[in-house]
Amino acid sequence: MRTKLSKHWMDYLLTQPESGMGYQRVDVEMSDGTILSDCLVYNASEIELPRNEALKTIVKVSIHRSRSKG
Amino acid sequence: MGYQSVTVEYGSGKKALGTVYNCEFLVTGTVSPSVVRESSLQRLFGSATTNDAFAIRSIQVAPRSRTLTASRTLSESASKRSQPASEAPLGSTGKGSSFARFTAYENDRRITADGALVPGTYATTWFDALLYVRTGEEAVERYALPDPTPAKYRFKIDPPACTPYREGVVQPSYEHEGGGAEVLFEQGTAPRTVTDRKELPER
pLDDT digits (tens, 9 = 90+) for A27-55: 999 999 999 999 999 999 999 999 998 88
Give the pLDDT score at B119. 98
Closest CA to B144 of A57, A6, A12, A20: A20
Q: Contact A69/B171, CB-based, under 8 Å?
A: yes
The pTM of the full predicted model, rounded to 2 decimals, is 0.72
B113-B116-B118-A7 Cα dihedral, nearest 10 degrees: 10
- DSSP, res B45: H
Nearest by CB to residue B102, choosing from A15, A21, A44, is A21
Give the pLDDT score at B7. 76
Q: Contact A20/B182, CB-based, under 8 Å?
A: yes
Residue bearing the bigger pLDDT, A69 or B25: A69
C-alpha distance from B55 to closest chain A C-alpha (Å): 49
* Residue B193 confidence (pLDDT) above 50: yes
Nearest CA in chain A to B112: A14
Q: Is B133 on the interface with A (CB under 8 A)?
A: no
Residue bearing the bigger pLDDT, B15 or B98: B98
* Residue B68 confidence (pLDDT) above 70: no
What number is the ipTM of this complex? 0.94
b/e burial code for range A9-39 (CB count within 10 A of at least 16 → b)? bbeebbebbbbbbbbbbbbbebeeeeebeeb
Report the alpha-carbon distance of residue B131 to residue A40 in Å, rounded. Answer: 29
* 3-state secondary structure at position B141: helix
Q: Contact B120/A17, CB-based, under 8 Å?
A: yes
Average pLDDT over chain A reads 94
Confidence of residue B9 (pLDDT cuts 50, 70, 90): confident
Q: Contact B101/A21, CB-based, under 8 Å?
A: yes
Size of interface A-B (CB pairs under 8 A): 71
Q: Is B99 on the interface with A (CB under 8 A)?
A: no
Residue bearing the bigger pLDDT, B164 or B82: B164
Which residues have a Cβ under 8 Å from the Cβ of A35 and sit 6 or more positions away?
A: A27, A28, A29
Listing from the earlier edge strand, what are the strands of the sheet with B90-92? B90-92, B164-169, B181-185, B121-125, B99-103, B153-157, B194-199
Residue bearing the bigger pLDDT, A36 or B54: A36
- What are B120-138's pLDDT values in tens digits? 999 999 999 999 999 999 9
Q: Is B177 on the interface with A (CB under 8 A)?
A: no
Nearest CA in chain A to B172: A69
